[in-house]
Amino acid sequence: MNRKPLAIALVALVFSLALLGCAIWSWVDYDSFSSTFSVSESTKSDGAFSDHAADMKSGSRASSAGAASASVPSASASSGEKANSEETRNSKEASDSELASRAEKALLPFLEKDEAARLIKLAKTDEDAAWIVSHPNAYKQYGTELQEKLLKLAADDPLAVPFVRNYPKLSHADEPNFDAPAMDEHIHAKGIPETAFPHLYQWDLRWGYTNFSQDGFGLAGCGPTALTIVYQGLTGNKEISPYDMGRLAEDGGYVDYDQGSMPDLFLGFASQLGLTCWEAPVSSESIKLSLEAGYPVIANVGPGRFSKVGHFFVLAGLSEDGMVVLNDPYSPERSSKLWDPEVIASESQALYVYSYDPYSYGW
């Protein structure tokens, strides 16, 4: 048998299989190879980068290097985005300016221009203030005088903003809500001495909405709140709240429906609290002598810089240079400053000085 033709056929078969294997390997690896090559070539020009990025967005296959190149924006795209961003910002600023102008126009019948500006500025970061600015006529039902007083309170004292915001919904309540947040925060400004007398506010959410006199405790309860500040500071007894003091004042006949607390409250009710009260001459010297002796003073001020109609607040102490530490139950802003006793005396109608004898028996 001649084996030579068979051997030749076998050699030809092996050679064919080898060629087929090479072809298969080339086909399998070509895609990744060509991808690597195309990315390498694409680094030669920005146009190639841009084209490759477009291919990536359309879903074409590419290497990880190509994906990185897709994140690089073209100069024209970057310029367009910057222009759009600036246009959006300018549009927003114009819109904000228009809204602020409209808000100012609505507030100016009740507030000075600087007061309106403060409230509008606060409204940008505070939801309650934003509501007040958007709804100044929600307080119209209470009359122009009360509407102005509420809006001015919000503009002057940010701590009172939640009280003003919810006044239309919660005012004239029969009972206090002692579960409400306490509004007794106070940050002592640098140079103002600490005293034993707490900072309590008549518009505290716990009792500010309750009925008292004509306008409610939050707006007319300065007398009972001032007396509570003195009582708690002298005795250390925190169990009597401004609301409790207001009820006691009403029961004792010391509250007038139209005028609020009557001055007789301070002299006539002191003994029932275990306190001694006397009226001092209205002068800066009386103020300084009383405070130097450790006696707090409740000042009854008339219309002027502290109030349009009259007000009661506590003179709690003196600084080293003889300035008065003020605990104003209506204004944290005023309480964060030191006051010249001459200024206070010039606005005062009466000064009530207090002391405490721990061996006396109150009610």
**pTM of the entire structure?**
0.73
CA distance 115 to 275: 40
Give the Cα separation of 126 and 119 in Å (integer): 10
Residues 213 and 306 in one domain: yes
Give yes or no for residue 168 having a pLDDT over 80.
Answer: yes
Angle between helices 144-156 and 127-134 (to 10 degrees): 150
Residue-range definition of the domain harbouring residue 119: 103-170
In a domain, residue 96? The reply is no
Is residue 155 located within the same domain as residue 290?
A: no
Q: What digits encode the pLDDT tens for the residues 1-56?
A: 555 555 555 545 555 555 555 444 444 443 433 333 333 333 333 333 233 333 33
Q: What three-state secondary structure class fits 309?
A: coil
Over the chain, what is the mean pLDDT? 81
Pair 126, 253 in one domain? no
The answer to the question of residue 98 being in a domain is: no
pLDDT of residue 23: 45
Instruction: Give the contacts of 35 (CB within 8 A, at least 6 positions apart).
Output: 61, 62, 63, 66
Q: Which two tokens stand for residue 348?
A: 């005062």
Residues in the chain: 363
Same domain, 310 and 238: yes
Q: Would you place residue 188 in the very low, low, confident or very high pLDDT band (cuts 50, 70, 90)?
A: low
Classify residue 326: in a domain, yes or no. Answer: yes
One domain for residues 165 and 305: no
Q: Do 281 and 237 fall into the same domain?
A: yes
Query: The domain spanning residue 256 has which CATH number?
Result: 3.90.70.10
Residue 184 token pair: 């007794």
CB burial class (10 A; 0-12, 13-18, 19+) of residue 313? buried
Look at residues 170, 201, 225 and tell me which one is the last residue of a structural domain: 170
* Dist CA 227 CA 225 (whole Å): 5
Strands 338-339 and 260-261, sheet pairing: unpaired
Task: Pick the last residue of a domain from 170, 194, 226.
Answer: 170
Task: Indicate if 161 and 179 belong to the same structural domain.
Answer: no
State whether 200 and 345 are in the same domain. Answer: yes
Q: Are residues 177 and 162 in the same domain?
A: no
302 inside domain: yes
Asked whether residue 7 is assigned to any structural domain, the reply reads no
| pLDDT at residue 251 greater than cutoff 90 | yes
Are residues 186 and 139 part of one domain?
no
If pLDDT is split at 50, 70 and 90, which confidence band does 244 have? very high
> How many angstroms separate the CA atoms of 42 and 89, rounded?
36
In this structure, the answer to whether residues 354 and 319 fall within a common structural domain is yes
| Cα 133 from Cα 182, distance rounded (Å) | 24
**In the chain, how many domains are there?**
2
* CA distances, 23 to each of 12, 81, 86 (Å): 17, 49, 57
Range with lowest mean pLDDT among 58-62, 85-89, 161-165, 179-183:
58-62
Is residue 221 domain-shared with residue 310, that is, in the same domain? yes
Q: What is the pLDDT of residues 95-150, one digit of tens each?
A: 567 767 888 899 999 999 999 999 999 999 999 999 999 999 999 999 999 999 99
Q: Which of 333, 346, 236 is nearest to 287 (CA)?
A: 346
Q: Are 163 and 205 in contact (CB under 8 A)?
A: yes
